[in-house]
Amino acid sequence: MSRKIKLTQTKTYTKTATIEIEYPNDLPLENINDYLYGNQCFWADSLDLSTISAEMEYDSDFDDIRYDVVETTEKHLCGGQI
C-alpha cells in the first residue's frame, strides 16, 4: 500500500472599503454600537457597494499551506500546516 502527500495552498485576497456617516453630537459615544445597529438601513447598502467596487489585494498574512497524508485507499492518516 502506498501513501501520498496532498499539498493544498490557500491564498487570501481582501477588499477594504471605508465610508463615513454622521453621528449626532447629542448622543454619547458609548451609544455608537446601538446607533449603528439601529440605523443599518442608512449605511449598510452604501458600505456594500463601496466594498464591491474596491480593489482586491493579496493578503500575505493569510497565506497558508497545509498537508495531508493519505493511503491509496484515501484513508486520512495525518495532516497539519506548514
pLDDT of residue 67: 79
The number of domains in the chain is 1
pLDDT tens digit at each of 82 positions of the chain: 678 888 888 888 889 999 999 999 999 999 999 999 999 999 999 999 999 999 999 887 778 888 777 776 656 666 666 5
> Cα(71)–Cα(6) distance, rounded to whole angstroms?
11
pLDDT of residue 34: 93
pTM, two decimal places: 0.59
Domain that holds residue 12: 3-81
> Cα(23)–Cα(34) distance, rounded to whole angstroms?
12
* Phi and psi based region of residue 10 (left: phi greater than 0; alpha: psi -120 to 50; beta: remaining): beta
